[in-house]
Structure 1
């Protein structure tokens, strides 16, 4: 019978094993605790500022505050652009039980478009539900009163007041002032490129055209900020501090709003532009383009229906004063005569015989004068006074296109004037090289003769023409045209720095006097092309009419406005200045398809000058002579 073996436990060995295991466990725990404390020290002591900053960034937010936009005044302190309080209907989605039904009910109550409705729901998807979202902007008095009476029925819906740009003179100054509109993707990209996106985070509008766009940085101001504490859902818990925004600077323009209104009234029913310039410093007194439009339409977001109206064939969106390109026609004859004198090809005593047409030597083609039977024997005085085409056909042919182009470029033709709005065209000052580059064709002598009377490829803008005539009446002194007069800096006004270009030098100063005298007799002499329009004026002026063909008339055909499509009729042009012996204003008129410059454009210049010299401002100017 076998006996079971009884294992004898070695308590001493077990105790030693346990002690070793306990020791190693203690070491591991100790190391883990040390690592924990080292990390805690690293996080709470060494990186305290870093994580505190990160914590604050999650907890404390800076909410930008948009600055008030600077105001715009005319030269006499009349307010042209202001910030007007408007009332918006806004909704906080989380406070509304059934958002769709509420919006439908509000639409029935106060009336707003499906476009507004769709825009609201689109914006709601991008915003947090506790944020206030505009449903209808710029409520009228009826909608405001209707909702106020029924507000108790719509928890979470309220009326909020905000400032929006407002133009009290509406279409009178549109093309000069421009307008502000909602910031779009293109604007955001540009702001990002310029590093200005932070300055516009609270701003909804930006200058789109005209002065509003050109002086955006001056008018916008500096953004402020409100420091707030938010919870983990981004809701504001409390406000900590506020840095107020700095309003934009107020600016004063050289424009006279009453002169603008005279121009608007004179151009009623016509397409064209009026530019009135101060030759003493280049300040623009009036810059009007017709037809115009109400810029307030764009401030709140123009409807597709209203925008479609502005796409009409009359092109009201185009600033004809700076973008309209017109053949200068006979308004350029004084400068052509000046070039003729400078080149030595003619003197004040040189005469030619005008039979009513001109022929290039060796050619049978006849370039007709506007007077079929001709002007007979004419010199430079009479050729400008009566606008003899034949005299300038001959002069241009002998000068050649490149000499004409070089001289006229010196007066600013073919180049932008640099006026302080972005919307400007350069026009065309043709030359042999220009035509070769543009069309790949040679220049023909017949084209030069047409250039001599401001036709052919030559086009100019009214502002270019005003600048060139300013250089002429100033005997070569040239000032870039500008709309800014000064802007407000604290309690002081900082004036615009007048930039004087290098003067145009002539071989003989007497040549200036000859041309200006001829422009004077154009108005003062009974045979002058502008005499009828200015007969009886209380001021002494000078000028030059122009009638530009829009379409070519066959050599044996006669121009008959009654049988020609209205938009193919002649353009009417006029350039003038007054007083003759000490010019205070330069006036340029360009009318599309209106007819003769003497019969149509010159009377409008007369209206502008009558106002200027008949107003208190004009009287002061006249008396200070």
Structure 2
């Protein structure tokens, strides 16, 4: 019995040994076959790969998001740009390669060498850009001589294209190359050295939305760096698109109306704060900044006395002139120093102390109430109203109406303007406030400073019965397929410090500016749309009280600025506008016609119903 068991054990061990041996033989056979395959069949290919380091990674730049106007008219897209690059590892012999390349590009070999040395050799295995956005003629020449140019490549990159040159340039903005400090900040995770980021306008404000994510190729290249095949690809992700609030045809109309004049036009939707127009003149071509603006072009822009690189809608600060009388009227009514029936006599001047403060009308306006004073822009009425109020009361209502502070628009470099107070002057000049200075600020002169955007926001609020909105530039952010990622809702920032009753009185005066028999802007009436507005003429240098000048004899740069602010239709406003024409002299003749043409273009259809003249608000409760 024991013998049988021993034989069985030996048989079992022998069987296991045979099976194990077969497995070992099989494994070694597979390894041998694999070795034969690698050495005999693929050996030459792998030998070539190991000798030439020809598996490389190449980054693929993503396309930046597109920008549309409110009606999805394309404003900014991307075009293919051809960049001339060199991989130093492959460009051997380097001197000979650069000599051949210099003959084609028209550069000297020394210039090309200087570009390489500027990079400090950091890009030995990576493409180094020698020239960006080369011409198609040079592209054809490079391609025709590619076998004489080892290591020289043409990379196709998406480049920004601003379709409508100089249109809304200050609003849309432009791009510029990222610098080392910005790269090191960690704020731009999808950007690398040599890439561009938004430098101005919505290109800067919405950089995170517009910037996409890079992709990449794993490439097999030959000994000269030429691509043999693509081994693997990770596709780039395009940036998101912006749908802006501006109306392109209206924007172009405003810019055309400004023409050669320096100044700005802002148009808003009073119901939500949408920026329909933001024009600043003179303008600039954003396409000049693609790939870096030349020193010569930058010098021209910098030396231009018209300051084309300033967005005058938000950066230029002007005395509000007679447009500020709206504030003085509201403050006087709210503080009860005047009412609808209060009158002052205007003989053409107001004597204060031993000085005469003149009205713009040499012969005066006679006995006049607040509605007529707004319509005829009587300085004497507002001198006396301001005197009764005092500087600090005026400042309270001006600041409560959004002046003297930022509007909150999503654009960099907005200026706050200035609304003076007695405390401000004491701190700034170490001098007390003088009563005569109150008369000047009551009519929008003196220390008062505002931006065109602030005045557009303010007149919008007057038109919509008191609601202040943050100006909105972008309605929505969408992906490349047009799916909405994020809606940007209108935002209320406050309300005018005035009752509906007093607003109605002021609105009646603004309507009479255009539709009254003696209104200062009566020449801009339209047959189908009623306009309510206010003219203004802002002095650009200090004058002694009562001092008169013949503006026609002054240098152009010393002539008055022309203002006009308005909304239309008067009873149910759909558009509010602020116009400033630098050195335009008179708001009624220089600025008001611009607003008139813009309103006519906006409504266009002659079937727009005529608004009914507002009821005299004397009895409005």
Q: TM-score, normalised by structure 1?
A: 0.82
Q: 2:594 aligns with which of 599, 604, 608?
A: 604
The Cα offsets for residues 256-277 of structure 1, whole Å up to 9 and x where unpaired, read as 1111111111111111001000
Match of 2:34 in 1: none
Per the TM alignment, residue 63 of structure 1 is displaced from its structure 2 partner at its CA by 7.0
Aligned equivalents of 2:58, 2:133: Cα separation in 1: 24
1:456-535 maps to which residues of 2 (within 5 A)?
A: 456-489=446-479, 491-493=482-484, 494-504=486-496, 506=498, 508-532=499-523, 534-535=524-525
After superposition, the Cα gap between the structure-2 partners of 1:413 and 1:228, relative to the gap in structure 1 and judged at 3 Å, is: same
Asked if structure 2 preserves the Cα contact closer than 8 Å seen for 1:553 and 1:559, the reply is no
Cα distance in structure 1, aligned partners of 2:535 and 2:211? 43
1:283-322 equivalences under 5 Å are 283-312=274-303, 313-322=305-314
Preserved CA contact (<8 Å) 1:466 1:586 = yes
Cα distance, 1:222–1:510 mapped onto 2, change above 3 Å = same
**Matched residue, 1:206:** 197
Relative to structure 2, which stretch is displaced further, 136-145 or 92-101? 92-101
CA–CA separation in structure 2 for the residues paired with 1:115 and 1:315: 38
CA distance in 2, matches of 1:382, 1:92: 77
Distance in 2 of aligned mates of 1:333 and 1:115? 66
Quote how far apart the aligned CAs of 1:334 are.
1.8
Judged with a 3 Å threshold, the aligned counterparts in structure 2 of structure 1 residues 141 and 333 are, in CA distance, closer, same or farther, namely same
How many positions carry a matched residue from both structures? 552
Task: Look up the match of 1:349.
Answer: 341
Structure 2 residue 201 is the aligned partner of structure 1 residue 188? no
Q: Is the CA contact (8 Å cut-off) linking 1:66 and 1:203 kept in structure 2?
A: no
Unaligned 5+ runs, structure 2: 1-54, 612-621
Residues 175-231 of structure 1: CA distance to partner in whole angstroms, max 9, x if unpaired?
001111110134334xx2xx335422377011111101111111113444667999x
Q: 1:157 to 1:114 in 2, by over 3 A?
A: closer
2:133 alignment partner in structure 1: 138
User: Matched residue of 1:275: which SS?
Assistant: strand
Unpaired runs of 5+ residues, structure 1, are 1-59
Q: What SS does the corresponding residue of 2:337 show, helix, strand or coil?
A: coil
Q: CA deviation at 1:113?
A: 9.0
CA separation in 1, counterparts of 2:290 and 2:62?
A: 17
TM-score of the aligned structures, taking structure 2 as reference length: 0.83
Aligned counterparts, 1:136-535, within 5 A: 136-189=131-184, 192=185, 195-201=186-192, 204-224=195-215, 242-312=233-303, 313-360=305-352, 363-489=353-479, 491-493=482-484, 494-504=486-496, 506=498, 508-532=499-523, 534-535=524-525
Show CA shifts across 1:303-349 (max 9, x none).
11111011122211100001110111111212211111111011111
Deviates more, 1:278-287 or 1:521-530: 521-530
Q: Specify whether residues 537 and 327 from structure 1 end up closer, same or farther in structure 2 by C-alpha distance, changes over 3 A only.
A: farther
On the 8 A contact 1:66/1:202 being kept in 2, the answer is no
The counterpart of 2:581, out of the listed 572, 576, 591, is 591
Match of 1:86 among 76, 81, 103: 81
Contact 1:584 1:621 in 2 (8 A): no
Q: CA deviation at 1:76?
A: 0.7
112 and 524 in structure 1: CA distance in 2 versus 1, 3 angstrom threshold: farther
Aligned-pair CA distance for 1:245: 3.5
Change (3 A) 1:92 1:64: closer
